[in-house]
Chain A
Amino acid sequence: MSEAVRVENITAAYRKEPVLRNVSFALPQGRLIGIVGPNGAGKSTLLKAVLELIPKSSGNVEILGSSVRSQKKNIGYVPQRGNVDWDFPTNALDVVMMGRYAQIGWLKRPSKKDKALAVEALERVGMKEYADRQISQLSGGQQQRVFLARALIQDAQVYFMDEPFAGVDATTERAIIDLLKELKEKGKTVIVVHHDLQTVTEYFDWVLLLNQRLIACGPVEQTFTSELLQKTYGGRLSFIQQENLKI
């Protein structure tokens, strides 16, 4: 079985500052994987570079053993919620349907089947009653769940999620993590940019530590150690924080 993601020597830069320096790693299939690192470590940039959404200066990426371009239909992506204008004139169902646009194809409109799939995806995130709701009238957690439903409807093999837990309420966080675990049980690979160190061991079974360079990548038990975390966060990880982590 090939790896879910294989990255060789990715380097990406904004203007002149490199954000990612020679990052290489391989991620196995069927795992729930956390990408962890301090602010400015390049976590979101890594996702975008892997998905070829930003130009990368160098490097090679394979997803499920072949090029990213050829695997787009097997890739599900959940961008950061803050990136979009939530006052956009559309409703929850419509946003979820966007996950089907690639399958629907050019010049065609969504069919009844697409609509049924979108309703089903909303139901899976507990948002069926909100299908007709204008998206600005949803709470932050609900917006995040709509984004998740939009990725679910893609029925992908590998999911990339950029901070899905940022700014959501506890109920939503619970609902999301349950769903991610369910995806993993179905053999999907779920890769999540995450910033809450407290929950890493509880949520993920594989972790990638990043601070512009790759610090470590492997099973949580071996990788999420105080030594490697210290290396990732440098002086920014306070002693108290370390005490609180159940390592």
Chain B
Amino acid sequence: MQEWLQFLSSPNLQWVMAGAALLGLASGVVGSFVLLRKESLVGDAMAHAALPGICLGFLVFGRETLALMGGAALTGLLAVYAIRAVHSQSKIKQDAAIGIVLSVFFGFGIVLLTMITNGSYSQSSGIDEFIFGQAASLVGADVQILIASALVLLILSFLFFKELKLLIFDPLFAGGIGLPIRFLNALLSSMVVLVVITGIQTVGVILMAALLITPAVTARYWTDRLGVMAVLSGLIGGLSGAVGALLSSTISGLPTGPVIVVTATAFFLISFLFAPQRGILFRMMETRKNTQFVLNNFLLDTMYEKLEKRYAAGQYSALFSRRELEEQTRLPRNGLEKTIQALQKQGLLTQTDGKYVLTGTGLAYAYDSSLLRRIQDIHLTHEAELGSWKEASANGDLRKPRDYLMNERIHSLLTAEQKLPVSLAIKQSSIEYADQA
């Protein structure tokens, strides 16, 4: 433990961790914009395409941080330009254009890299770490550049937040109110380039896009507000960066990029599974709940309509045998069983002498449910006159179908036969009904 504390207090590690955290923070924020602009893969191509630029920078100027970054920016931007050109000048779709450009640039980068590592260039060791990233290789000057560029990115995101938001959401409208679209597009592209070129030494060209996109995707699970999403994404990116830098510095031979990505992915998996509203477990539960709700109503409706028919024919028995329910609903055996149990649990259905009967509450409920369905049929055929059904149900107007029936127009549209259940329900909706039977 003490060793760890001592290790953590090493100033070099502190610098490296702070740098990686800030990088993750900036990357997470900018990544939110990139994700919503649907340019995740463009970011990926840009990162891969930085490799030949790094090699060229090294070959021409030697191992100068600025030369490597300049080269990376140059080929990264060239790749983006190439994707746009291939996409707009031919029938090739964007995904294919990205695939072509990414692999050509990366392949060229690997050729140059092999040349460098096999050749007799001075200071060429460690150049290959740009593939998977190595935070520990950051020296003081690198960390300073990293921190400076992360701060620039965060400040730009903050200052131009509302303009960037509008640009991404609705560029046509943004142009319509006179925002300088070209400038904003260039600003956003420059921000992405800056993130990528400052990130590749730490994360590596192959996985840089993951640090851009994974935190943003993760944050999207938890919020419906862009501002919150950007901050959350930044925090996740920052934490992933710090953890990645720490682990890769302590375990020898472990590259930083993969650790950062694995950390970010852990956050993603947790969100993917457990986030409210958007998480998969929540959705599965909602679906199950909804399905059971539909089945419950279906069984109630079926029983109600049968009762209605019996009533019209002068039969007053309210009892249903299991067999009858099976025949009437045609539900699979276990589906019916589950539904019966659900209704019994809610006190809507009860059993007497091995036969099933609706309770008073159950009958009233079944009445409302059948009525609602009939009103819906009528409403949908007269939607132009009565207004949107979807809105009426979203507004909660339909929670009490009996009140809704008081709407004169609806009342006049339902036939007398369809309204017959009113008298049935009023006459007999009581606990005694079940007991009499």
Question: B166: CB under 8 A from chain A?
Answer: yes
Q: Which residues of A contact B388 (CB under 8 A)?
A: 139, 141, 169-172
| Distance, CA A91 to CA B227, complexed state (A) | 12
* 8 residue pairs A–B, Cβ–Cβ below 8 Å: A48-B172, A73-B178, A88-B36, A88-B169, A142-B391, A169-B390, A170-B385, A170-B387
- Given A104-B162, A109-B162, A171-B387, residue A51 in contact with residue B169 (CB < 8 A): no
| Distance, CA A139 to CA B384, complexed state (A) | 16
B382 to chain A, nearest CB (A): 10
Q: Choose, from B59-67, B68-76, B135-143, B217-225, the stretch at the interface.
A: B217-225
Q: Which residues of B contact A134 (CB under 8 A)?
A: 224
Q: Is the CB of A170 within 8 A of B384?
A: yes
| Distance, CA A34 to CA B33, complexed state (A) | 37
Q: Which residues of B contact A102 (CB under 8 A)?
A: 177-179
Classify the secondary structure of B's interface with A: helix
Please give the number of chain A residues whose Cβ is less than 8 angstroms from any Cβ of chain B in the complex.
38
CB-CB contacts of B366-380 with A at 8 A, as 1s and 0s?
Answer: 000000000000000
Q: Which residues of B contact A98 (CB under 8 A)?
A: 165-166, 169-170, 173
Q: Is the CB of B390 within 8 A of A139?
A: yes
Q: Which residues of A contact B36 (CB under 8 A)?
A: 85, 88-89
Partner of B170, one of A52, A69, A83, A104: A83
Q: Which residues of B contact A109 (CB under 8 A)?
A: 162
Chain A residues at the B interface, C-beta cutoff of 8 Å: 48, 51-53, 69, 72-73, 75, 77, 79, 83-85, 88-91, 95, 98-99, 101-102, 104, 106-107, 109-110, 134, 139, 141-142, 150, 154, 160, 169-172
Q: Which residues of B contact A48 (CB under 8 A)?
A: 172
| Distance, CA A170 to CA B392, complexed state (A) | 13
A50 to chain B, nearest CB (A): 11
A160 to chain B, nearest CB (A): 8
The 4 closest A-B pairs by CB, nearest first: A77-B176, A72-B178, A170-B384, A102-B177
B97 to chain A, nearest CB (A): 17
A71 to chain B, nearest CB (A): 9
Q: Is the CB of B166 within 8 A of A107?
A: no
- Given A83-B170, A171-B391, residue A77 in contact with residue B177 (CB < 8 A): yes
Q: Is the CB of B226 within 8 A of A101?
A: no
Q: Which residues of B contact A84 (CB under 8 A)?
A: 169-170
Q: Which residues of A contact B168 (CB under 8 A)?
A: 88
Interface residues on B, range: 20 to 34
- Please report the number of residue pairs spanning A and B whose Cβ atoms sit closer than 8 angstroms: 94
Instruction: Identify which of residues 171-197 in chain B touch chain A, using a CB-to-CB cut-off of 8 Å.
Output: 172-179
Q: Which residues of B contact A141 (CB under 8 A)?
A: 388, 391
Question: B383: CB under 8 A from chain A?
Answer: yes
Q: Is the CB of A89 within 8 A of B166?
A: no
| Distance, CA A154 to CA B383, complexed state (A) | 32
Q: Which residues of A contact B128 (CB under 8 A)?
A: none
Q: Which residues of B contact A75 (CB under 8 A)?
A: 176-177
- Given A98-B166, A109-B162, A170-B383, residue A72 in contact with residue B224 (CB < 8 A): no
Q: Is the CB of A53 within 8 A of B176?
A: yes
B232 to chain A, nearest CB (A): 11
Q: Is the CB of A69 within 8 A of B224?
A: no
A240 to chain B, nearest CB (A): 21
Question: B229: CB under 8 A from chain A?
Answer: yes
Among B223, B385, B390, find the residue whose CB has the most chain A CB atoms closer than 10 A.
Answer: B390
B169 to chain A, nearest CB (A): 5
Q: Which residues of B contact A83 (CB under 8 A)?
A: 170, 172
B29 to chain A, nearest CB (A): 14
Q: Which residues of A contact B170 (CB under 8 A)?
A: 79, 83-84, 98
CB-CB contacts of B153-170 with A at 8 A, as 1s and 0s?
Answer: 000000110110110111
Q: Is the CB of B177 within 8 A of A53?
A: no
B412 to chain A, nearest CB (A): 19
Q: Is the CB of A139 within 8 A of B391?
A: yes
| Distance, CA A95 to CA B384, complexed state (A) | 28
Q: Is the CB of A89 within 8 A of B224?
A: yes
B168 to chain A, nearest CB (A): 8
| Distance, CA A141 to CA B384, complexed state (A) | 13
| Distance, CA A51 to CA B366, complexed state (A) | 57
Q: Which residues of A contact B165 (CB under 8 A)?
A: 90, 98
Q: Which residues of A contact B177 (CB under 8 A)?
A: 72, 75, 77, 99, 101-102, 154
| Distance, CA A102 to CA B175, complexed state (A) | 10
CB-CB contacts of B224-245 with A at 8 A, as 1s and 0s?
Answer: 1110010000000000000000
Q: Is the CB of A91 within 8 A of B169?
A: no
Q: Is the CB of B173 within 8 A of A77?
A: yes
| Distance, CA A102 to CA B226, complexed state (A) | 20
Across the two chains, which residue of chain B brings its CB closest to A88?
A: B169
A161 to chain B, nearest CB (A): 11
